[in-house]
Structure 1
């Protein structure tokens, strides 16, 4: 009888998994039919110009030249945007394309008939030159487009200008004020089908793993590993290279560290990193996710090597950060270079090492957390947490170590009977890593005050350990960051030059201390909602991928209820401890804002500039634990509901990103 019941229970669990996955497959199928399939019929747009500025006048007999840096290894169509044509139907416009050596790689003639000149794209008149077959070029090389109008002397063509291209147009040898608005198109974007199919397979496979782990009642930390790895890889694909804020600067810094390890050429020409792999997306436009970027990344991951010169290129300035900040990414890049991966595979290898590091550290954080494990689970899986976790940003390491430190302190406060030397060593190492990267988070070690002195043996030993932790944070910070910190406090002249305006600097508030409360109150009133939204992940990428409010509200609710006490849990945070945790959390938030106030905010501004919600992620678990109360008690099964809800919201986030990026 018992075997039959167990068998029936097994079938019920299997049915739940199958039904859930079928529903998910159905939703993905609808998205494919309604959105992906039509987009796959569109042309690939490799170079896109936004119409802006003055018109360019081309007279009959003149030649207009425009240099364009190609963003692919082939193209099929060139579109020239124009406002007006004053001429005859017999007039001819000739387009020739030359490479850097002056060799003509393509030439077309277009008779400007009424039918031709009436063609429009997105409401703008365009002259469309179509090649008979795909023209192969060198990716990231500069080519010159030459336009010549042949007609009567009084005939004119008025082209739109743009600020999207680096080089200005040239008419008969004279440089114009504007660049010519040009689009370079390829074939149909059929590759998005395969890209979406890959994302769909990963999503269904990942949800299947999570469902199995949930139904087998695995531990929270194991379910976290499954969830974080699956969704981390998916985020890695839907948020392409350089689409995370400042990722290009972080990447070239990690790459430079790898070059030092391998004994390769590092920096030159103003501290710019030397990149050996030409396929790397080193162009400034790489931060903007598009379907073309998706396809390019997919092809690169599958081993396609783009046409390039094979010569080293400069990839941007190396950041003055401790090398430990990028240790996982540097290791990933080094392994990829030793294995002779192409540039895109190399980039993703660094990201993968970052993700694995984040997952491993956070796994141990959740494992040792004595209670309220769901607080760490949800915080670590927020869309913004996941975006940073799979990127080259040092936020990955800061967030993971901060979560671990918080968990370890609570482990010492509420569970472990005696504090040992190895405990102090572990916390000291964490402090020594996190402080030089972002010194404001050293505030977290203040949780050690809550550890009863009896666990140390004596009060003297407790305060001696506190002194050791302080030194562990101060010494590496002074060694690696003292110059930059002094500049920031003194007025940050370098930052003023970078930003183009005078920043406050720390010295200013020594003379105008009374202005601080007003600025902080004004900032809190105006920006709190923005901080909460961006902390969760309302705006991903370079803050241009808007996730629906419903998804963000869902994550916020999960955060707030994640601290609820489970039946049987005896551990409670008393009021005195909550007050101290609140003080530490508030102090950390104030310090974050103060740093941006003196280093990023223009003198005279009453709202602090440059603060993003992701900066508060390391102390989110401390803030959420303040909502833990003995009056709200939930069943153990409630954890499964939170974890399942988190997975559903993650999928909603990923699909929202695709919904925004694919039509671009």
Structure 2
């Protein structure tokens, strides 16, 4: 009799499990057949030029008609190359002569003379595309020489987009000290290897789906139990899908982490400001990966991760220090990971990946602590920690991994202190330390979150004597003033730039400044309003993970709506939510609003040119640290979610993320 009862119960568990896996498998097949396979014949693209950032330029004129560049070809089976250029005042018979040769053998790989009338300045970029007659099969690590000559120039000027490649470029215009590069891209081999990448990705997603169903639906675990394994596995998937340099400004973050890795390994500093020592293989890989995602990044990931590097000698290269807006401690996890890779003599790709993995591990630990600390909205903290945008940043070298984790923990501690009758030092000390951290990150834009500390004390002040109330109020005000002063001192150089960045010579292309904002408050309001109207949908999409990598991946709104619905349900799980008092709602909403305004104003005076009528450069991920405080404001008695419904909501959320990952994979090619 017991067996007869047990069998149907097991079937009721196993059958949905099989249906779920079959559904995910079916989607994997459909994405491959309908989207992925059609682009597998294309050559691999290696973008040598810096994308998403401003580059320099090299100009050819009648008086200076030629240039040469010698560079180490870092790709096998070279097929084609291109250059981005624009012609001004182009004469009808002006031409550009292009020669590419192998310096060792003298073999001419490409030679042609092209008219430049098609390169006349327009709103779109113009490219010189050069295809080799025969594939250069032995191209990797060969030293090639590019020669360009402007013929019949007259008044024609030809502007080539250029940047610096300190390792790959050995000389420019026969000057070994000049490492300028004018090559925009190299095309090589073909990306059929991406079918292997896709197969591994699908296998990982199926394993992740099975683990999710087992932990949530079969074992009936709570968020405290299943968050770590799910976040770790999904984070590793994102870490490979959005590979090195695929996250905004990651090259800068890796450079800064490398600087601290040198300090950990007792590597001496260089005598030249703005430079550090790197392993040559690490510096070379940094120049071989574009800012964003391209098939070349996955080629390097699949074929060069497990190799043993031979060129590990230290070389001096320039770098960008990313600590002007954050304390150096946020780079420590990535620096430790990079140090481990260097000590073990691992490849450059694996070394950088270890830095990203260490970041991910620390982020998961911080969010797990936040889930354990907060008395309510544990499911909300877990869901926010698993959002695509959160995991993308967490599984990278970006300081956002540590910032988001620590701010989440600070908000959780504020909720915990609010719910505790007697506060002890073990609660107040970490809360105070994190409050200092919140004050000194990102130019102080999250400073208003310190008003959440009021939640720790306001419900206790009702029974206090007036004198003690005054002391508490005075102490709170004094603490806020001191932290604000600390932020002001920390970011004084940044504020000075904001105050003096206006250029009277070119008013239209100069940046908005703090004095301008203060002198034109009404116009500032108009700018804020225009930003919400023009960019509001992109900000919401970016906050929930619908705009990933360097905003290259714009996911369908269907996925975003599903993720938003899941969040709104998970904040109303029975016994995991609390109706906030009017005072608490006022404090939380005020702090979130003020912080939002500071974020927008910081991008207005730090990034936006005066020719624009709305704020440039805003991204939804900037508002992610505010999410754990903001979403509890949406708790309502209208919606009630029990434990079983919460489990189903989690399955919908995880299923949506799996579909979103598959759509990202389809966009890579």
The alignment partner of 1:615 has SS state of: helix
Distance of aligned partners of 1:453 and 1:31 in 2 relative to their CA distance in 1, 3 Å threshold: closer
Q: Given the superposition, is the C-alpha separation of residues 36 and 469 from structure 1 closer, same or farther in structure 2, using an over 3 Å criterion?
A: farther
Counting only pairs closer than 5 Å after superposition, residues 99-114 of structure 1 correspond to structure 2 as: 99=103, 103-104=104-105, 106-107=107-108
Aligned to 2:188: 186
Whole-Å separation in 2 of the counterparts to 1:429 and 1:412:
14
The answer to whether the aligner puts 1:364 opposite 2:366 as a matched pair is no
CA positional deviation for 1:362: 0.7
Q: 2 CA distance for matches of 1:353 and 1:54?
A: 40
What displacement does 1:276 show? 1.8
Query: What residue in structure 1 maps to residue 600 of structure 2?
Result: 593
Contact 2:341 2:351 in 1 (8 A): yes
Structure 2 residue matching 1:371: 3-state secondary structure: coil
Aligned equivalents of 1:582 and 1:352: distance in 2?
Answer: 35
Kept after mapping to 2: 8 A contact 1:399/1:618 = yes
CA contact (8 A) 1:273 1:317 kept: no
Residues 269 and 276 in structure 2, CA contact (< 8 A), matched pair in contact too: yes
Q: Deviation of residue 519 (structure 1)?
A: 3.3
CA contact (8 A) 1:388 1:396 kept: yes
1 CA distance for matches of 2:147 and 2:29?
45
The 3-state SS of whatever aligns with 1:77 is: strand
Check if 1:622 corresponds to 2:629.
Answer: yes
1:397-546 map, 5 Å: 397-414=402-419, 416-438=420-442, 439-451=444-456, 458=464, 482=489, 484-485=491-492, 487-488=494-495, 491-493=498-500, 501-546=509-554
CA contact (8 A) 1:278 1:308 kept: yes
Instruction: Determine if the alignment matches structure 1 residue 250 to structure 2 residue 257.
Output: no
Instruction: Evaluate the alpha carbon distance shift between residue 631 and residue 132 of structure 1 in structure 2; reply closer, same or farther with a 3 A threshold.
Output: closer
Does the 8 Å CA contact 1:488/1:598 hold for their aligned counterparts? Answer: no
The equivalent position to 2:307 in structure 1, one of 303, 308, 320, is 303
> Is 1:396 aligned with 2:401?
yes
Q: Which has the larger displacement, 203-212 or 66-75?
A: 66-75
1:38-437 alignment runs, 5 A limit: 38-46=38-46, 67=69, 69=71, 72-78=74-80, 97-99=101-103, 103-104=104-105, 106-107=107-108, 127-131=131-135, 133-137=137-141, 143-145=144-146, 163=160, 166=163, 184-215=186-217, 216-267=219-270, 269-280=272-283, 281-283=285-287, 286-303=290-307, 305=309, 310-319=313-322, 320=324, 321-414=326-419, 416-437=420-441
Partners of 2:604 and 2:66 in 1: CA distance: 48
1:601-620 equivalent positions in 2, closer than 5 A: 601-603=608-610, 605-620=612-627
Q: TM-score, normalised by structure 1?
A: 0.80
The secondary structure found in structure 2 opposite 1:633 is: coil
Distance in 2, matches of 1:595 and 1:109, equals: 49
Aligned to 2:88: none
SS at match of 1:318: coil
Structure 2: unaligned runs, 5 residues or longer: 52-56, 86-96, 114-126, 153-157
CA deviation map 1:141-196 (0-9, x unaligned): x6213699xxxxx99xxxxx8846659999999xxxx9988864433323212222
Q: Secondary structure at the match of 2:268?
A: coil
Q: CA deviation at 1:578?
A: 1.8
**Preserved contact between residue 99 and residue 147 of structure 2 (Cα < 8 Å):** yes
Please give the alpha-carbon distance, in whole angstroms, between the structure 1 residues aligned to 2:136 and 2:620. Answer: 51
Counterpart in the other structure of 2:16 = 16
Give 1:86's aligned residue.
none
1:384 positional shift: 1.5
Shift of 1:391: 1.7
Provide structure 1 residue ranges, at least 5 long, that are not aligned to the other structure. 58-62, 83-92, 113-122, 149-153, 156-160
Report the alpha carbon displacement of residue 253 of structure 1 after superposing the two structures with TM: 0.7
1:486 Cα offset (Å): 5.3
Q: Is the 8 A contact 1:229 1:356 kept in 2?
A: yes
**Greater alpha carbon shift after TM alignment, 326-335 vs 354-363:** 326-335
Task: Determine the C-alpha separation between the residues in 1 that align with 2:544 and 2:327.
Answer: 27
- Alpha-carbon distance in 2 for matches of 1:445, 1:342: 43
Of 456-465 and 325-334, the range deviating more from structure 2 = 456-465
Alpha carbons of structure 1 residues 29 and 272: separation in structure 2 relative to 1, 3 Å? same
Distance change >3 Å, CA 106–CA 196, structure 1 → 2: farther
State the partner residue of 1:582.
Answer: 589
Tell me the distance in 2 between the aligned counterparts of 1:80 and 1:244: 25
Rounded to whole Å, the distance in 2 between the matches of 1:419 and 1:172 is: 70
Is the deviation greater in 597-606 or in 549-558?
597-606
Partner SS, residue 491 of structure 1: helix
With over 3 angstroms needed to count, the CA separation of the structure-2 counterparts of 1:474 and 1:355, relative to structure 1, is farther
TM-score of the aligned structures, taking structure 2 as reference length = 0.80
Q: Which residue of 2 aligns with 1:29?
A: 29
Distance 1:110 1:591 in 2: 55
Name the residue aligned to 1:636.
643
Cα pair 1:229 1:359 within 8 Å, conserved = yes
User: Any conservation in 1 of the 2:333–2:355 contact (CA below 8 Å)?
Assistant: yes
Deviations 1:513-538 (A, max 9, x none): 45443433333333322321222222
Alpha-carbon deviation of 1:510? 4.2
CA contact (8 A) 1:247 1:392 kept: yes
Residue in 2 that maps onto 1:648 = 655
Query: How many aligned positions are there?
Result: 619
Q: Distance between the aligned counterparts of 2:331 and 2:279, measured in 1?
A: 19
Change (3 A) 1:466 1:617: farther
Kindly tell me: are residues 326 and 80 of structure 1, through their superposed partners in 2, closer, same or farther at Cα, counting changes over 3 Å?
A: closer
Distance 1:391 1:495 in 2: 34
**Contact kept? 1:253, 1:273, Cα under 8 Å:** no
SS of match in other structure, 2:317 = strand
